[in-house]
Structure 1
Amino acid sequence: MNYKRLLFCLFTGFTVATSPAFAFQELQPSDDYIQVSKEIVEILEGTHYNKPSINDQISELAFEDYLDALDPTKSFFLQNDINALSVYKKRFDDAIKSGDTQVAYTIYNLYLKRVEERLTDLENNLSAMLEGFDYTLDESLDLDSEHYTWAKNKQEQDETWRKRLKNRALTLKLNGETPEAISEVLTSRFKNQLKRIHQTDAVDVYQIFVNSITAALDPHSSYFAPRASETFNINMSLSLEGIGAVLQMEDDYTKVVRLIPGGPASAKGELSPNDKIVGVAQEGKEMINVVGMRLDDVVDMIRGERGTTVTLEIIPSKGTGQTSKRIKIVREKVKLEDQSAKKEIVEVTRGDDTYKVGVIELPTFYSDFAAQQAGDKNYKSSTKDTKKLIEELRKEGIVALILDLRNNGGGSLQEANSLTGLFIPSGPTVQIQDQNGRITPLGDRDPKIAYSGPLAVLTNRMSASASEIVAGALQDYGRALILGGQTFGKGTVQALQEVDKGQLKITQAKFYRVSGETTQHKGVVPDIIFPSVFDTEKVGESSLDRPLPWDKIHETRYPIYWDMPSLFPILEPRHQARMAKDPDFIALNDQIAEFRENEDKYKTLSLNENTRIQINEETEKRELDRENARRAALGLEAIESVDDIEPTDKLVYSKEAAEILLDFIAINQLAEREKAQQEQAN
C-alpha cells in the first residue's frame, strides 16, 4: 500500500486490514499531469472573465461538484463516507496549484470500492430479488433529484436500490419482456457498468477533477483531456457521422441537450431536448442498456457509418416517465447544405383578400470559411443565402417577413452581425466586454438593406448565442417584433486554449445588446409570448449551475425605427383572442397545462403494475382525445393511435406570427390615414 493511501485510511478512520479484496485496481495520479495542472491554474486565473482566485471557496464548490460527478444520484457513497471525505473540502485548490492531485484519486478509489460492492451484491442477488418483487403493492419511487440524500446506512441504501431495481424490472415487463429477458438485461447492465468502471483510467479521473474546478467558475468552462479533446474537435467540425445530437450526462442518464439542425435526429422528429437515452442497439443486435455508462462510450455507440441504423431506447421528456419507447435513426453526416436557410410562404385570408407572408427558417449561423478564404465568390453563408431568399420572396409578392430562429443554437458571430445588417442601415449590433472591462462594439458598415418591410423574429428557449444577438439587436432598433418564447440566455464567449495535454475551453467575454443589456442569463424576452413546452426553470442558462449574472453596461447610439411597445396593447389582445379560438393553440395550451399540473406527480413513480398501466392508458387517451378534438375542429379525419400524432407547433406559430404582422400593418396603415386626414384638416 502506498504512503498517501495509508495516511488517508488512518486519518479518516477507514480500515484497511479487514477490507476484502476487490477486482478493481486503485488508480494513482500521473506525474505527466503535474505541469498541466499548474498551466491550467495560470490560464484560469489569468484569462477567465471573472478573474478568479483558485482558493478555499472554489475548493469547497469543486469538492461538491466532484462528488456529484462521481455519484450524481447518491447511489454508492454512504453519509459516513461523505463525512470522512469532507476533510478534503479545502484541499482541491492546493491540489491543482501544486499538481499533486492525489486527493482526487483517494476519493475516486473509495468510490470504485463502493461501486464494486454494490454492483457485485446486486448481480449475486438479482434472481432472488426479481422473484420477490410484488407488483401489486402500492409503493413508489421518488425521482426528484432535489430529494436525493446520502443513505445513512447500508440498509437504507439497500431499500433505495430495491425500489430502483423494481422500477427497471417493471418498465421492462410493461414493454413486453419475459422474466428471463428481464433478468438477462439487468444482469448485463450491472456487468457492463462494472466493466466500464474498471476501464476508467487515471486520465479520466484527472479530467473529472479539473472539471470540478472549472464548474465552480461557470457552466461553460471545461477541460478536455486528449481523448475528449479529439471528440470535441470532431463535433465542432461537424464531420461526425451519427444522429446529429448534442448529449450530456445528467445523474446516471445520457440526456439530449439539443438537436443539430439538418441532422438525422432533427429530421426524424421523434427525439427532443431533455429526452433520456437508456439503451442503444446496433443493426441486428440486442439493445444495450446505457444507464450509468460513460458519456464518451455512449457517444461511440451512437456514432457509426452513414447509412447504418441505430435504435435508441428513450424516456421522453414530454411524457409521464412511466415507460420508455424505441426509435430508429439512420446515421448520416451533418452537411452544411442541410443547415442552410429555407423559405416558405404562409397565406392568410382576411375578408376577400389573401396575403402572403414569407418565412425564412435559419437553423444556424453558418459560413463556409474554407471556400471564402480560397477566394470562391460563391461560398455559402447564412447571410448570403438569406439575402437571396428575401429577393425570391419579394418577387412572389410577400407583404411581411418572418425570420424563424427557433432551435437555432448560434454559430458564427460574424454571420450574426452581417445578417442583422440585412434589415438595418449601418450601425452597431452587439457589444463585447472582456475580462479587463474593455468593450468592443461590432456593427454593420454596409448602408444597404435587403428588406425594409414589416418583420417578425420567432424565437424559443433553444434560440441561443448568435440568435440572441440578432433578436436583441432587431428588438432594440424597433426593427422587428420578437415573437415566441424567451431565448436560452447564453451571453458568454468561450475560447479554446491548448495545454500540454488536451485543451481548455474558457469563458473570456460577455455579449451585450446595443441597449446595454447583456443577453446572458435572461436572454431575449419576446414582445408577444407564445405557448411553450419548454420549462424555463429546467431549460436554459438560468437552469445551469453558477451561470454568470445578467447585468448592464452603457448603451450605444442607435436609431429606433418603430415604437413597437406602443402597439402591444392592441396586438396582444388580438393575439389572445385568436389563440382562444384556434384548435391548434387550444390543444397545445391544454397539453402544456396538463403537463404543468401533473409535473409534481411525474416526480414520483408508482411501482404498482396496475397503477402504471392505468396511468399510461389514461395519458394516452387524453392525448388521443385532445388530438382528435383538434382534428375535428379543423375538419380532419380522426386517428386511432397516439403514434400517429405529428408535431403541429411549427406551422401554428408561423401562421400566428403572420396574423400579428398583418395586424401590425393594419395599425400602421390606419395611423398613416389618420395622420394624412389631420394634415388635410389643418
Structure 2
Amino acid sequence: MATLNSFKDRRFMKMKFLTPILLLLIASNTALANNYNHFKKDPDKDKVILYVLKNILTKGHFVQKELNDDFSEHVYNDFINNLDPSKRYFTQEDLKEFSQYKYQIDDQLRNSRLDFYKLVYGRFLEKIKAAQLTYAALLQQPFNFKKKENINIDYKKVPFAKNENELVDNWRKQLKLQVVSLIQETEQRQNEELKKDPKIKRKSFAEMEVKAREKVKKNMNDLYIRIDELENSDWYSTFLNSVVSGFDPHTTYMSPRTKSRFDQDMSGKLEGIGARLQKEGIYTKIVELISGGPAWKQGELEPGDIILKVAQGEGEPLDIVGMRLDDAITFIKGKKGTEVRLTVKKKMDGSTKVIPIVRDIVELEETFVKSSIVEKNGKIYGVINLPKFYIDFDDAKQRNAAGDMKLEIERLKKENVEGLIVDLRDNGGGSLKTVIEIGGLFINEGPIVQVKYRGEPAIIKNDTDSNTHWNGPLVVMVNEMSASASEIFAAAMQDYGRGVIMGGKQTYGKGTVQNVLPLNYYVSKYPDDLGALKMTIQKFYRINGGSTQIEGVYSDIAMPDRYSYMEFGERDLDGALPWDSVKKASYNKINSYTNFNEVVTNSKERINADQKFISINEYAKWLKKGQDDNIYSLNYNSYRKDVEQRLEESKRFKDIFKYESNLTFTSPSYELPYFKTDTVLKQKRDRWHKGLQKDIYLNEALNVLSELKMDKKLELVKK
C-alpha cells in the first residue's frame, strides 16, 4: 500500500515492496542511530533535523539529486525569497554579504553546518524590528497623492532595494498603495450611499485618508503581532523547505505542529471541542461551531465569543490572552472524554462565563462524501460530491472515502437513480489506497493505476473486487484544481471508456506519490519530536502508460471557466518533475456506451453555441489580462480612473455566473431523519442544493448523463 500524501512509519516498514532504494533507507536508519552519540555531544536540534533529512532524501527520493553548486544556488534563492517575497527587508548590500555562501550551502549541508541560515535569519530578525519602526513612521502623516509614480507588485521581477534609503522608499510605495486602495473603496461606497440617500453627510478626502491610514496601521500591527509570535523553529522550517524543495515542489518538511494538522486533514476528524478559532489582536475568538461537535451539543459557546482562560477539568485556569493561536489550540484540544473549562467573554453582553465541555471525536463534515438526487426529463439521477480521498491510517475501523463512496452508491441505487455524476472539482487528492478501491466500484476488476519507484519497473495496482457496484451511466466532473488521486480516478474511467470526463481543459497535473516519514524513527533515542518529511517516492501512471504529471487528464468535454487562461497547475511550478511514460498495462476496455462520440459532440456544440459559456470564455481572457497587469498608479486620480475603468469593463461580466436551472435537488431519503435533530446540517445541505441548481456546469453534465445509452451487451474488447 501507498498513499499520494500520507503514510505512517510502521506501515511503511511492513510493506512488501522493499526495493533497493527503500532498503537503503532502512539501512540508513541503523547508520543514523549509530550516530546518535555524536548528537548527544552536540545536541543542536536544528543540526539533527538537517542531518536526518539529508540522508533520507539522497537515498530515498524518486529523483537522485546531486548536492552541488546548482542545488546550493536553489536553496540560496529560495530561502531569501521565502523570507522576503515582497522585497521589504533585504537590500542588495545584504545580498552581497549573503552571497559568500551562494555556492557553499551544499558543502554546509554535507557537514550539517548552518552558517548560511544563521547569517540570513539573524539579519532577518533585525530587519523585522526595523520594519516595525519604518511603517509606523511612514503612516504618521499623509502621502503625496498628487505625485505621479507607479508600483510594480510582481515582486519576482522587482530587484531588491540598493540600500536602506531605497528600502524605506519601497515601504512607502507599498503602504501608499494600501492607503490609496482603501480611500478609493470608501469613496465608491460613499457615492453609492449618496445615490440612495442624498442627505447623508459626505466625508472629505482628508477624513477618508486619515481613516485609511489608521486601518492600514492596524492591519500592519496585527500582522506583526503574528510575526512576533513565530519562533526559530518556524523560520527554520522555512529554510528546511528551501532545502527539500530542491528535489521537487511536493517534498516538504513538516514541523510537529504541521504534521498534526496534516494528519487531521487526511482523516477528516479531530479530538477536541469542535470549534474553529482565529486570532483577533491578542485574543482567541470562536469563529464557527462544527455541527454535531461537543461545543455545538453543549450549547453555551457561540461564534464571536472570546476565550480568555483554559483549564483542564478542575485544574488551575491558564490565561491564553496574548498566546499564539497554535499554542492556545493545543490547550483547548484534547483526548476524547476529557473535560476542558473555558473562561469566555460573551459576544452578546460582554459578560464572563466559565463553560465546561467534554471533548470528543469531531468529524469535519465538509471533508466527507455527500450526495443529492435530481429529476430530469422524468428520470432520477444521483450527484456524489467527493471533496477528498480521505482515510485514517491510525484506525482502519474509521470511515474512509472508499467505504463511504460504496455506501452512498448503494443508497442512491435504492432511490432508483438511472445515472451518476461523481463531482471531483477542487478535490486535491488523498489516499492512493482509497482511489484504487473507488475506481473498482465502477469496473469488474483490473488495473487502476501504475506506480514506479526510482530505477524500478512500474508496478500495476489492481482492483481485486470482482463486483461492479455501479454499472450505469457515469459522468466525472473535474477542473484545474482536481489533482493527484482525482486524476488517477478520472484517468482510469477515461482509459476504460467507463465514464465521460467533463470540466476544465485539463486537471492539475500532479503525478507523484508522497510518503510521510517521521524523523524520530531514524534517531529513535532523540528526546524531542523532530517532525516529519513528506517525500516524493513514486510517480504514478495511467493504465494506458502515460503519466498524469504535468499533463493532467484532458477532459472529453472541456467547458470554459475562470481558470481557462491562467497560469495554473503543476506545469507552472518550479522544479516540477517531467512527463514521461511506461509500458501500457493489460486491461479490457469497456464499451459502456453505444453513443459516446455522439453525446460528446452534442455537448460541445451546445457549449460552443451557449451565450453563457461564450461570455465565461471572454471573462477568462479578461481575468488573464488583469493577472498580467501588475503596474499600479500611486497618483490618486490616476488610480481611481484605472479602477473605474476596470469596474466599467467588469459590468459586462456582472451576471456571468447567474444561472437558474428548473431542477430541484434533494437529499436522499436516508438523510432526512437527521435534519430533525441537526438543523445546521440541514442548512448546509439546503445551501448546497441551491448551489447545484445554479451550477451551469452541473446542468450540462446532467444533459450529457441523460443522453448516454448503455450497451446492453457490455461487450469486453481486449485492449
The TM-score with structure 2 as length reference comes to: 0.68
1:163 and 2:173 aligned? yes
Aligned equivalents of 2:565 and 2:513: distance in 1? 22
Q: CA deviation at 1:399?
A: 3.6
Q: CA deviation at 1:199?
A: 5.0
Per-residue Cα deviation, 1:369-415 (whole angstroms, up to 9, x for no partner): 66644xxxxx6443343334434444544443221111222222222
1:419 and 2:419 aligned? no
Read off the aligned partner of 2:563 and give its amino acid letter: F
Q: CA deviation at 1:209?
A: 2.2
Q: CA deviation at 1:649?
A: 9.0
**Runs of 5+ consecutive residues of structure 2 not aligned to the other structure:** 1-41, 187-206, 279-289, 293-302, 308-322, 334-341, 348-359, 521-529, 664-689
- Alignment equivalent of 2:605, drawn from 568, 572, 577: 577
Structure-2 residue corresponding to 1:498: 518
Verify the 8 A CA contact 2:594 2:709 in the aligned structure 1: no
Structure-2 residue corresponding to 1:643: none
Aligned equivalents of 1:310 and 1:62: distance in 2? 48
Aligned equivalents of 1:527 and 1:536: distance in 2? 18
Q: CA deviation at 1:580?
A: 4.6
- CA shift in 2, pair 1:304/1:114, >3 Å: same
Structure-2 residue corresponding to 1:225: 255
**Runs of 5+ consecutive residues of structure 1 not aligned to the other structure:** 1-28, 246-261, 265-280, 286-295, 312-331, 374-378, 637-645, 673-682
Provide the secondary structure at the position in 1 that maps to 2:140: helix
- CA shift in 2, pair 1:348/1:590, >3 Å: farther
Structure-2 residue corresponding to 1:60: 73
1:440 and 2:459 aligned? yes
**Aligned residues: CA RMSD:** 4.1
Aligned equivalents of 1:346 and 1:431: distance in 2? 36
Structure-1 residue corresponding to 2:143: 132
Aligned equivalents of 2:215 and 2:639: distance in 1? 21
Aligned equivalents of 2:185 and 2:325: distance in 1? 22
Structure-2 residue corresponding to 1:24: none
Structure-2 residue corresponding to 1:510: 539
1:38 and 2:51 aligned? yes
1:362 and 2:386 aligned? yes
Provide the secondary structure at the position in 1 that maps to 2:238: helix
- CA shift in 2, pair 1:369/1:631, >3 Å: closer
- Alignment equivalent of 2:93, drawn from 68, 75, 80: 80
Aligned equivalents of 2:513 and 2:434: distance in 1? 15
Q: CA deviation at 1:89?
A: 1.0
1:344 and 2:355 aligned? no
- CA shift in 2, pair 1:552/1:614, >3 Å: same
Aligned equivalents of 1:75 and 1:592: distance in 2? 32
Per-residue Cα deviation, 1:126-151 (whole angstroms, up to 9, x for no partner): 313xx2332x5554322223422112
Aligned equivalents of 2:409 and 2:45: distance in 1? 56
- CA shift in 2, pair 1:347/1:586, >3 Å: farther
- CA shift in 2, pair 1:659/1:91, >3 Å: same
Verify the 8 A CA contact 1:409 1:466 in the aligned structure 2: yes
- CA shift in 2, pair 1:664/1:389, >3 Å: same
Q: How does 1:274-353 map to 2 (within 5 A)?
A: 335=363, 337-349=365-377
- CA shift in 2, pair 1:513/1:347, >3 Å: same
Structure-2 residue corresponding to 1:69: 82
Aligned equivalents of 2:70 and 2:428: distance in 1? 33
Read off the aligned partner of 1:523 and give its amino acid letter: G
Structure-2 residue corresponding to 1:525: 554
Verify the 8 A CA contact 2:391 2:401 in the aligned structure 1: yes
Matched positions, count: 557
Read off the aligned partner of 1:57 and give its amino acid letter: D
Read off the aligned partner of 1:659 and give its amino acid letter: N
Structure-1 residue corresponding to 2:31: none
- CA shift in 2, pair 1:113/1:132, >3 Å: same
Provide the secondary structure at the position in 2 that maps to 1:450: coil
Aligned equivalents of 2:156 and 2:214: distance in 1? 32
Aligned equivalents of 2:368 and 2:225: distance in 1? 43
Structure-2 residue corresponding to 1:122: 135
Aligned equivalents of 1:651 and 1:309: distance in 2? 41
Aligned equivalents of 2:449 and 2:516: distance in 1? 22
Aligned equivalents of 2:421 and 2:660: distance in 1? 27
Structure-1 residue corresponding to 2:281: none
Read off the aligned partner of 2:171 and give its amino acid letter: W
Provide the secondary structure at the position in 2 that maps to 1:520: coil
Verify the 8 A CA contact 1:359 1:654 in the aligned structure 2: no
Verify the 8 A CA contact 1:116 1:194 in the aligned structure 2: no
Aligned equivalents of 1:525 and 1:663: distance in 2? 21
1:560 and 2:567 aligned? no
Verify the 8 A CA contact 2:266 2:391 in the aligned structure 1: no
Verify the 8 A CA contact 1:105 1:205 in the aligned structure 2: no
Verify the 8 A CA contact 1:263 1:338 in the aligned structure 2: no
Structure-1 residue corresponding to 2:300: none
Aligned equivalents of 1:615 and 1:183: distance in 2? 21
Provide the secondary structure at the position in 1 that maps to 2:420: strand
- Alignment equivalent of 2:152, drawn from 139, 142, 155: 142
Q: Which has the higher contact order (CA 8 A, sep 6+)?
A: 2
1:110 and 2:140 aligned? no
Aligned equivalents of 2:268 and 2:538: distance in 1? 25
Q: Which deviates more from structure 2 when the two are superposed, residues 65-74 or residues 585-594?
A: 585-594
Provide the secondary structure at the position in 2 that maps to 1:416: helix
1:100 and 2:113 aligned? yes
Structure-1 residue corresponding to 2:666: none
Read off the aligned partner of 1:219 and give its amino acid letter: P
Per-residue Cα deviation, 1:535-585 (whole angstroms, up to 9, x for no partner): 5753322222211111111111001123989954x4454223323554643
Aligned equivalents of 2:427 and 2:291: distance in 1? 13
Q: How does 1:538-617 map to 2 (within 5 A)?
A: 538-562=567-591, 567-568=596-597, 570-582=598-610, 584-601=612-629, 603-610=630-637, 612-613=639-640
- CA shift in 2, pair 1:394/1:121, >3 Å: closer
Aligned equivalents of 1:122 and 1:531: distance in 2? 43
Structure-1 residue corresponding to 2:244: 214
- CA shift in 2, pair 1:33/1:607, >3 Å: closer
Q: Which deviates more from structure 2 when the two are superposed, residues 175-184 or residues 218-227?
A: 175-184
Structure-1 residue corresponding to 2:487: 468
- CA shift in 2, pair 1:46/1:309, >3 Å: farther
Read off the aligned partner of 1:133 and give its amino acid letter: N
Percent sequence identity is 31
1:665 and 2:665 aligned? no
Q: CA deviation at 1:450?
A: 1.6
Provide the secondary structure at the position in 1 that maps to 2:709: helix
Structure-1 residue corresponding to 2:471: 452
Aligned equivalents of 1:473 and 1:630: distance in 2? 31
Aligned equivalents of 1:244 and 1:484: distance in 2? 35
